[in-house]
Structure 1
Amino acid sequence: MKFTILLILTILAPSLPAVEIIAHRGASHDAPENTLAAVNLAWKRNADAVEIDVYLSRDKKIVVIHDQDTARTTGHRGLVHRQTWAQLRKLDAGAWKAPQWKSEPIPSLEQVLKTIPKSKRLFIEIKCGPEIVPPLAILLAKTKTPAAQTAIIAFSLEVCTAAKKRLPALEVFYLKHLKQNPETAQWPAIAPTLAAAKTAQLDGINIGFKGQTHTPAFAQYLHQIRTQTRHQKLGLYAWTINTPTQARQLITTGFQGITTDRPGFIRHQLKKP
């Protein structure tokens, strides 16, 4: 009897819309960010996609790292663009996270592309300027990576525009950090961001929020963003979402994808009624 009641409640419980769960720098909660270990762990935990960050090395190799300097994740001070691929690949990008990850190297984008399962995709965040777009296009052609398995994201509208122009078959999303005014409690208007994305013929926006996100006012703000985004026929994604409450709020509002450090955990929690 108890089992029957539980089954009925599960069936009647409102289900969440489908959403793309994207692993932020790989499964970075548990493995060192932007490494093959983090990327492969994300696939193992059934992430729909993985997000990684890229820069150009001195010898024009596309390398996977978040910061413009290697100090934070390797202990070695030096700007990425002033170091060669041979130098960068020798650095230890894992020991800072935990002893078990010692000697985990900085990977190249080419190495990461080879890990993508057939039904998944990779979000490539460009951290440098538009100079990376031509070698990126060459690499994607060389590796025969399907357009449906890669997307480009960037905070720079110039970079997004260049990427969409050179790689029109790829989805390109404009990153925007929305910060609540601490004095007025007002959130910034989303219209200028949407207009910029639309003018550049981008596919959508990917936004982060900083402020009080557990209020009725914020919930209303999210619905305004969703309404305006739909009107402009743009995709809508958010980062970095690490709690089930945040994830559910965004998904029920109509966000198509969420980026998280904990893809396995979030997916498991969202399955609960």
Structure 2
Amino acid sequence: MMLPATFFAQPFAHRALHYATMAENSIEAIKAAVAAGYGIELDIQPSRGGTPMVFHDYDLSRLTGERGPIAQRTAAELADIALTGGGGTIPTLAQVLDEVAGRVPLLIEIKDQDGALGPSVGPLEIAVCDALNGYKGDVALMSFNPHSVAACQAFAPHIPRGITTCPYPAKDWPTVPEPTRAALREIPDFDRVDACFISHQQDDLGSPHVAALKARGVPVLCWTIRTPEMEAKARKIADNITFEGYRA
């Protein structure tokens, strides 16, 4: 299993091609990324009922005028919630797939639902894989939670999958025990979950664990690049980038 060649042909717009007047992960940002020819990185959270929604946060408050967990609202309710940054309401994965229709590659991150990057996963991964059944475009799945990646291996073994990785500082991962964070820094699950790439935090690309995978020929993607200077530095190691805030 390998990433398609399209994953190296153009950079990936982080949460689609969003601006001050066009919210991240919105349908309008998706349209803008497609029109510009960029790949699209997007995030998945579940609705109440398990529908995969294209939305980054666990809570609605940063990106909408509502409060509370996205997982406590039905897909129908979420469809009526406007994104405060503009660009429409909260889309489902199915809506995004219909809009993209294979024109650019999709890098889909399934957000951890266990809370501690542990084994309580499955329903969201099944729903995502079901939504992708029959999709004709190039797509890959990834997650910070290796158990989520393993679930994708079980439910859709034909879809390329990778692990989203970083140094796991305590301030960014307060619900994850230190022994788990220490273990994950070494990217120990890569072979177990039959991953074919990683997407690593850009300012930690010098990690020896990244270097070890790179030496094996493993593609290294990175997140999130915000300036041309950051891009030039990252591309010395990374095979492709995820960017926002400028045109890569």
TM-score range, shorter chain: 0.7 to 0.9
Deviations 1:39-81 (A, max 9, x none): 111112221x101111121122111111111111112112111
Q: Return the alpha-carbon distance in structure 2 between the equivalents of residues 108 and 151 of structure 1.
A: 17
Match of 1:199 in 2: 192
Which structure has the larger Rg over C-alpha atoms? 1
Provide closer, same or farther for how the CA distance between residues 179 and 190 of structure 1 changes in structure 2, counting only shifts above 3 A: closer
Amino acid in the other structure paired with 1:153: M
- 1:70-85 residue pairs with structure 2 within 5 A? 70-85=60-75
TM-score, length of structure 1 as denominator length: 0.72
Aligned-pair CA distance for 1:258: 0.5
Aligned-pair CA distance for 1:90: 0.8
Provide closer, same or farther for how the CA distance between residues 72 and 135 of structure 1 changes in structure 2, counting only shifts above 3 A: same
- The Cα RMSD (Å) is 2.6
The reply on whether 1:121 has 2:105 as its aligned counterpart is yes
Aligned-pair CA distance for 1:243: 1.1
Provide closer, same or farther for how the CA distance between residues 190 and 178 of structure 1 changes in structure 2, counting only shifts above 3 A: same
Provide closer, same or farther for how the CA distance between residues 226 and 176 of structure 1 changes in structure 2, counting only shifts above 3 A: closer
Unaligned runs of 5+ in 1: 1-17, 182-187, 212-217, 267-273
Provide closer, same or farther for how the CA distance between residues 91 and 233 of structure 1 changes in structure 2, counting only shifts above 3 A: same
TM-score, length of structure 2 as denominator length: 0.79
Equivalent residues of 2:166, 2:185 under 8 A apart: no
Unaligned runs of 5+ in 2: 1-7, 114-120, 171-181
Equivalent residues of 2:164, 2:198 under 8 A apart: yes
Equivalent residues of 1:69, 1:79 under 8 A apart: yes
* More helix as a share of residues: 1
The reply on whether 1:257 has 2:240 as its aligned counterpart is yes
Q: Return the alpha-carbon distance in structure 2 between the equivalents of residues 261 and 130 of structure 1.
A: 30
Which SS does the other structure have where 1:205 is aligned? strand
Number of corresponding residues: 221
Which among 94, 99, 107 is matched to residue 110 of structure 1?
94
Provide closer, same or farther for how the CA distance between residues 230 and 190 of structure 1 changes in structure 2, counting only shifts above 3 A: farther
Equivalent residues of 1:19, 1:258 under 8 A apart: no
Equivalent residues of 2:139, 2:159 under 8 A apart: yes
Equivalent residues of 1:179, 1:210 under 8 A apart: no
